Amino acid sequence: MKAELIAPCGMNCNVCSSYLALENETKTKGVKLPYCVGCRPRNKNCSFVKKRCELLGEGKVEFCYECTKFPCDLLKRLASGYEQHYHMNMIDNLRYIKEHGMDKFLEKEQKKWECPQCGGTICCHNGICYSCSLEKMKTKKKRYRWDD
């Protein structure tokens, strides 16, 4: 887990389908997925929140928890959707980072998202390990969810 892949909004890009596709070169393995290097490496601060947040847009805060309005309504909506569909709550992530620090957060996330079969990283968006389970993506046509 890389600290630079924790977005200001609390998204852990280390476990994102587009980042994992890039890291595991899925196109060469016969699965065509969009690639992304993460919000911070693309100098995006946050792809979702910054468009409506002056502090993020202008780079005045590193994480949303540094704002006096934390958690704002926009972040609450984003976090609610991610929690419902992807078993990740960005607000909880940010609170943990604020209270325990980035290193402890990354340790916790490593354990949470580690593949029990190969030690790779399980994707938060579809529950698949891109290191050892890509065949599942080739054989199923429907969109993946944790509950499949």
Spell out the domain ranges in the chain: 3-139
Q: Is the pLDDT of residue 146 over 50?
A: no
Question: What are 6's strand-pairing partners?
Answer: 12
Q: Where residue 148 falls among pLDDT bands split at 50, 70, 90?
A: very low
Helical pair 102-113 and 90-100, crossing angle rounded to 10 deg: 130
Residues 6+ apart with CB under 8 A from 135: none
Predicted TM-score (pTM) of this structure:
0.81
Average pLDDT over every residue of 8-26: 89
Number of H helices, E strands in the chain: 6, 0
- Rg of the chain's alpha carbons, rounded to an integer? 16
Q: Is the pLDDT of residue 44 over 70?
A: no
Average pLDDT over every residue of 1-5: 92
Average pLDDT over every residue of 35-61: 73
Q: Is the pLDDT of residue 51 over 50?
A: yes
Share of the chain above pLDDT 70, in %: 82
Average pLDDT over every residue of 69-77: 90
Residue 43: the pLDDT is 67
